[in-house]
Amino acid sequence: MKVLIPTPLLSYTNAREVEASGATLMELLADLDRQYPGLRFRVIDEQDKLRPHMRFFVNNEQVFDTTLALRPTDSVILVQALSGG
């Protein structure tokens, strides 16, 4: 399935859109990390929780459950919030 990558993570993929597979978001992240080592750690913390600044959208709907079942036709977007002052 197609996964859109946020600009701050492009140093891992060198592409705005990549292909990955997985039956769940967690499996999808594992596949992304296999292809682009280190990417998963930027999205998921040591307790397998989404980092506070990361968001997932599946078919344009925000999701919080990393065990959510995915279909091969789903569209996944990773969004990373930026802050500063």
- Write the pLDDT tens digit of every residue in 9-65: 999 999 999 999 999 999 999 999 999 999 999 999 999 889 989 999 999 999 989
Domain tally for the chain? 1
Dihedral over Cα of 39, 42, 40, 80: its sign: negative
The whole domain housing 24 covers: 2-80
Return the higher-pLDDT residue of 57 and 80. Answer: 57
pLDDT (0 to 100) of residue 5: 96
pTM of the model: 0.89
Residue 22: inside a domain, yes or no? yes
Among residues 17, 14, 43, 47, which one has the least CA distance to residue 30?
Answer: 43
CATH of the domain at 20: 3.10.20.30
Model confidence at 80, pLDDT cuts 50, 70, 90, reads: confident
